[in-house]
Structure 1
Amino acid sequence: MRAAYQYRLRPTKSQIAKIEKWLDMLRHQYNYLLADRFNWYEQNCCPVNSCPLVCHLPELRNKPEYFSQKKSLPDLKKDRPWYGEIHSQVLQDCVKRVDLSFKRFIKGDCNGNKSGKPRFKGENRYKSFTFPSLSKEPVSGNILTLPKFGKIKMIYHRPIPEGFKIKTATITKKADGYYVTLSIQDDSVPDIIPIVMVTNPVGIDMGLKSFLIKSDGTDIPIPQYYRKAQKRLKKIQKAVSRSKKGSNNRKKAVTKLGKAHKKVADTRKDFHFKTAKGLLDDHDLVAHEKLNIKGLAKTKMAKSVLDAGWGQFLSILSTKAVRVAWPTALNAGLVTVAVNPRNTSQNCSNCGKKVPKKLKDRIHSCPHCGYVADRDVNAAINVLNLAVGHPVSSKAFRVSEPMGGVGKKPTLNLKRSV
């Protein structure tokens, strides 16, 4: 199992200058490699219906790929000796980023969804670099040792659990300073986890009137951090737009705006973590809808949906529940289930008959059985019934019955990266 721990760095002035220098050099190398791929693509992948009858044939060359571009790094260090200061694997990770972004543009991801055309990184747009491998014990107290960079101080606010090894380290530049994200792994954590007897399940229905409504009728109010901060953000944004481009005052205003947006994001994330912990402390199974958040973000409710941060919350909830074998985990043996949201708001949770309702109708009143409840509470009960009483197919989990019948417990397949 893999997880990520983030710590704030306390670099010296010379280390800050070194980080900035590395980021700038990696940005130039990223743009060069991306331009090389675009050049080959434009010269060799012209559409048939757009190709003129008489045209110049470019010099034929092999398609630039990950390994071919990685082989060019030794020549880069010969032509530009200052690139020898950067660790070789950090440069290789830059090539990997170019390869990944270009493949998503041409072929798409594992689901076939293509991304937009990769853009060249402008100044201050390349904000992180990764060390793919570290020494056996890179952390000693509050000191982190990085290859070819040296020792750097960090705020070690929570210890790494026993048995976990640090695999990678990513240094990131943010609005309020520099952070390091340590990717940790423990192979002893099993991928197949037995399902224990569920004693206190709950279904939740995500909403905009309330952040979520439980199947028992209780709700959690929505904080709306972004909407509450809009007045202050508008004032800072006005200062940015009125300042002259390239001036020091504009740089200060941009930094202030970035810190204000980061504060909103941090408070929202803290709320998500506390809400997820409260759910997992009280319930051993949490059922929720598998929402199309990207589709909802394209509607008139886009600002409210993005301000609520449903995607981040559901990701945090599933990640915290998966930590079943950690000795320091607050919750063990918990399960989250994503169900198909189709007709969960329309069907009656008491008799199962469909009761059509418009979005403005907030009360569910079934004409067949006479059951009356809040629309969201009825939907939360339907979500729980789907998760507990019916087989559900989801990418996040798969419940499989064992071969051979009696005496064996079903298993929950949680082979996924955290």
Structure 2
Amino acid sequence: MRTSYQYRIKPNKKQREIIDNTLDMLRCQYNYQLAQRFNWYEQNRCSIDRCPLVCYLRGLKDKPNYYNQKASLTQLKKDRPWYKTIHSQVLQEIPKKVEIAFDRWLKDDCNGKKSGRPRFKGVGQYKTFTYPQFKRHHFVGDKITLSKIGDVKVIVHRPIPDGFTIKTVSVTKKADGYYVTLSLDDKSVPTIKPDFNAENIVGIDVGLIDFYVASDNTRIAAPKHLRKTERKLKSAQRKVSRRKKGSNRRKKAIKKLGRQHKKVADTRKNFHFNTAKKLLNKYDVVAVEKLSIKGLAKTRLAKSIHDAGWGQFLSILKNKAENAGLSVIEVSPNGTSQECSNCGHKVKKSLSQRTHNCPVCHTSLCRDLNAAINIRKRGTHALNKKAQSMSS
């Protein structure tokens, strides 16, 4: 089982300077290697999609890739000795990040979609670096030893479970301070708990009025974290826009705005964790819709959808279910609101119509509850089909 724990760290003044300088140097190297890729692409691309059978091809330059960009780091330290203050493996993560970003732009993903053109990182936009290897004895008590930085105090709000080994450590600078994220692994943890009950299943339908409605008619109202703090955010944003660019007062206003946004994000994330925990404490299987959240976020309801954070909630729910030996099943969302949960008759209704009234079986209930019951039925069908395939 793979999981991650995040702790806040309290570096001293000198250590904060080292972390900030490291992030800035890594940012510059990221931009430089990304520019190498763009230069190669522009010099060797061809806008003509057809050519004669016999034609002359000019010599192509060597394509920058992970290995030759990684090998160039040795010369980098000779030309710029201040890069020796960065741990070698931390510096080697840069070519990997550049290759991932560049390949996502040129190649399709599994769904045939491409990512946007990678952007150069501005000052303060590169916020994380990773140690790909870490020894457990470097984290003892409330101290963690980071290479080239030293012993840093950690606020250990929860201990690392027994049996887990630390695989990687990432240092992140956020609006309210510095954090370390430990990636933990324990292969002895079972993927499914022994007393797993496949019949203890619930279907949930996420929404904007109610955050979710379950098939047992339990519901949680949408908290609307962003909407409730819009006035404070608007005031903080107004202060930033009124400050002179480059001034210390503007920098302070930007930090204050960043802390406000982080508070909203942390409150939303805490709500998602608590909601997922309540569901998994009660049920062994949770059936959800396989939503295209990116597509929905381009509609006129984009702000409310981003505020609800469905994508983050479903990701947290899946991770917690996997760690607990439980299951989350994604089903097709087509027709869950239109199909009658009692007789299966399709009843077309607009989004503003919040009650499901079936003319065939005269079933009348909440639109979201009807969808949740249909989701549960589809989840049960998917479980049975999976069990049959495994038995055969």
SS of the equivalent of 2:239 reads helix
Matched with 1:322 is 322
**Structure 2 residue 380 is the aligned partner of structure 1 residue 388:** yes
Larger helix fraction of residues: 2
Q: Please state how far the C-alpha of 1:148 moved relative to its aligned partner.
A: 3.0
**Structure 2 residue 195 is the aligned partner of structure 1 residue 207:** no
Q: Please state how far the C-alpha of 1:301 moved relative to its aligned partner.
A: 0.4
CA gap of 1:112–1:400, structure 2 versus 1, over 3 A, is farther
SS of the equivalent of 1:323 reads helix
Q: Is the 8 A contact 1:339 1:392 kept in 2?
A: no
**1:141 maps to amino acid:** G
Task: Write the deviation string for residues 246-277 of structure 1: whole angstroms up to 9, x where unpaired.
Answer: 00010000000000000000111111111111
Q: Please state how far the C-alpha of 1:145 moved relative to its aligned partner.
A: 1.3
TM-score, scaled to structure 1: 0.88
Q: How does 1:292-371 map to 2 (within 5 A)?
A: 292-324=292-324, 333-371=325-363
CA gap of 1:295–1:399, structure 2 versus 1, over 3 A, is farther
Q: Please state how far the C-alpha of 1:59 moved relative to its aligned partner.
A: 7.3
CA gap of 1:58–1:234, structure 2 versus 1, over 3 A, is farther
1:74 & 1:20 partners in 2: Cα distance? 22
Q: Please state how far the C-alpha of 1:146 moved relative to its aligned partner.
A: 1.9
Task: Write the deviation string for residues 273-321 of structure 1: whole angstroms up to 9, x where unpaired.
Answer: 1111111112222111111110110000000000000111111111111
Q: Please state how far the C-alpha of 1:135 moved relative to its aligned partner.
A: 1.8
Q: How does 1:16-415 map to 2 (within 5 A)?
A: 16-48=16-48, 60-191=60-191, 196-324=196-324, 333-390=325-382, 401-403=389-391
SS of the equivalent of 2:390 reads coil
Q: Which runs of 4+ in 1 moved over 6 A?
A: 192-195
1:344 & 1:210 partners in 2: Cα distance? 17
Task: Write the deviation string for residues 216-245 of structure 1: whole angstroms up to 9, x where unpaired.
Answer: 222101110101111111111011011110
SS of the equivalent of 1:349 reads coil
CA gap of 1:390–1:85, structure 2 versus 1, over 3 A, is closer
1:12 & 1:334 partners in 2: Cα distance? 42
Q: Is the 8 A contact 2:19 2:149 kept in 1?
A: no
1:130 & 1:42 partners in 2: Cα distance? 31
CA gap of 1:148–1:383, structure 2 versus 1, over 3 A, is same
TM-score, scaled to structure 2: 0.94
Q: Is the 8 A contact 2:191 2:323 kept in 1?
A: no
**1:366 maps to amino acid:** C
1:296 & 1:15 partners in 2: Cα distance? 43
Task: Write the deviation string for residues 48-69 of structure 1: whole angstroms up to 9, x where unpaired.
Answer: 1699xxxxx9874210000010
Q: Please state how far the C-alpha of 1:193 moved relative to its aligned partner.
A: 6.9
SS of the equivalent of 1:314 reads helix
Task: Write the deviation string for residues 342-381 of structure 1: whole angstroms up to 9, x where unpaired.
Answer: 1000111101111111111111111111111111111000
2:220 & 2:203 partners in 1: Cα distance? 13
Q: Is the 8 A contact 1:208 1:305 kept in 2?
A: yes
Q: Is the 8 A contact 2:356 2:364 kept in 1?
A: yes
Q: Please state how far the C-alpha of 1:194 moved relative to its aligned partner.
A: 7.2
Q: Is the 8 A contact 1:139 1:145 kept in 2?
A: yes
Q: Please state how far the C-alpha of 1:186 moved relative to its aligned partner.
A: 1.2
Q: Is the 8 A contact 1:23 1:128 kept in 2?
A: yes
- What is the Cα-based RMSD across aligned positions, in Å? 2.0
CA gap of 1:306–1:154, structure 2 versus 1, over 3 A, is same
1:194 & 1:142 partners in 2: Cα distance? 35
1:90 & 1:58 partners in 2: Cα distance? 38
Matched with 1:327 is none
CA gap of 1:100–1:295, structure 2 versus 1, over 3 A, is same
2:350 & 2:326 partners in 1: Cα distance? 35
2:21 & 2:387 partners in 1: Cα distance? 50
**2:202 maps to amino acid:** V
Q: Is the 8 A contact 2:197 2:284 kept in 1?
A: no
**1:186 maps to amino acid:** D
**1:294 maps to amino acid:** K
In structure 1, runs of 5+ residues without a counterpart are 52-56, 325-332, 405-418
Q: Please state how far the C-alpha of 1:207 moved relative to its aligned partner.
A: 0.8
1:35 & 1:367 partners in 2: Cα distance? 63
Q: Is the 8 A contact 1:386 1:392 kept in 2?
A: no
Q: How many residues align?
A: 387
Q: Is the 8 A contact 2:192 2:326 kept in 1?
A: no
2:20 & 2:108 partners in 1: Cα distance? 32
1:347 & 1:363 partners in 2: Cα distance? 13
Aligned-pair identity in percent equals: 57
Q: Is the 8 A contact 1:134 1:146 kept in 2?
A: no
SS of the equivalent of 2:229 reads helix
1:130 & 1:102 partners in 2: Cα distance? 20
In structure 2, runs of 5+ residues without a counterpart are 52-56
Q: Please state how far the C-alpha of 1:160 moved relative to its aligned partner.
A: 1.0
